[in-house]
Amino acid sequence: MSADVWGARWSANGSLIARRWMEACTAKKSLVILAADRQDMAGLNQLLELVHEHVVALKTHVDLVKDWTPEAWGAFCAKAEGFGMLIFEDRKFADIGKISKQQMGGIYDIRSWADLVTSHLISGPDVVNGLQAGWEEVSREGGILLLAQMSSRGNLLNQDYSDEVVRIGKEQDGVFGFIGNGSEATNIAALRQRLGDEKMIWTPGINLQVGDGELGQRYGNPRDAVLAGADGIIVGSGIHGMNDPCHAARTYADASWQALLERNE
């Protein structure tokens, strides 16, 4: 089933974590990653209970959580895993390899619970090895999403920089995929063209209400993003900011899944 639905992405990509993502999406008929931007454990747990049927990965900003404790976080992650979700810490690492490796540990010990993390490549290619070394220290496997584009207005990731991120990252096994600009389908299509079939593109800046958001955020449509080559849509306020987050999550799940089927027809 996954092989049919994912087409070239499946056949080009044998990595364990990529296959896990595609299988999990197929099981839930959804390509939704929830940006779970809540600031306390009660809010996070409530959100998880409401939307888990339609969400395939949980994107966290662990340093937003005011009442964070290792115990509460461990229980939260275990619950999300029980719901068949991957856990994705949007840490946006950017330091040299050696420090990034240490930052995978520290207070939050990201390496012990995150399946995926985001990283900039501004410090050079060794950040990928540093992050992978972090997971190795606890005998876990994980994948990195490199920021090739951003959704925010006026960001400094210009074409040359983005091309270099793709050129370097597409050759590295530790790289699961790339963050693309979900607010602009032509950006995603260009990224997919440079990237080829193998690696994933996940796109933030997705909302059914397209256009400008808060503080420079910009939004594009979920269907357009997937048709342009995105393999995961990152949705925050479009789900957690709605009166009925479960209904909203289902709407994004359906839109993304139908677009994937359409893309591979």
Catalytic residues: 92
When asked if residue 44 is in the footprint of ligand 6AU (CB under 6 A), the reply is no
Is the CB of residue 63 less than 8 Å from the CB of residue 265?
no
In the complex with ligand 6AU, the residue whose CB is nearer, 26 or 149, is 149
When asked if residue 169 is in the footprint of ligand 6AU (CB under 6 A), the reply is no
When asked if residue 220 is in the footprint of ligand 6AU (CB under 6 A), the reply is no
When asked if residue 238 is in the footprint of ligand 6AU (CB under 6 A), the reply is yes
* Binding string, residues 108-147; x marks residues near ligand 6AU by CB under 6 A: ----------x-----------------------------
Question: Could you say which residues in the range 50-79 bind ligand 6AU, by CB under 6 A?
Answer: none
Long-range contacts of 99-105 (CB under 8 A, 24+ apart): 99/130, 100/127, 100/130, 100/131, 100/134, 101/130, 101/131, 101/133, 101/134, 101/137, 102/134, 103/134, 104/130, 104/131, 104/134, 104/135, 104/137, 105/134, 105/137
When asked if residue 162 is in the footprint of ligand 6AU (CB under 6 A), the reply is no
When asked if residue 237 is in the footprint of ligand 6AU (CB under 6 A), the reply is yes
DSSP 3-state of 44: helix
When asked if residue 179 is in the footprint of ligand 6AU (CB under 6 A), the reply is yes
In the complex with ligand 6AU, the residue whose CB is nearer, 143 or 238, is 238
Give the nearest residue (CB) to ligand 6AU.
236
Distance spanning both ends of the chain, measured CA to CA = 14
- Tell me how far apart the alpha carbons of residues 115 and 197 are, in angstroms, rounded to a whole number: 22
Q: Pick the binder of ligand 6AU from 35, 144, 165, 188 (CB under 6 A).
A: 35
In the complex with ligand 6AU, the residue whose CB is nearer, 18 or 233, is 233
When asked if residue 184 is in the footprint of ligand 6AU (CB under 6 A), the reply is no
Which residues contact residue 145 at a Cβ distance below 8 angstroms, ignoring those fewer than 6 apart? 88, 116, 117, 118, 119, 175, 176, 177, 178, 179, 200, 202
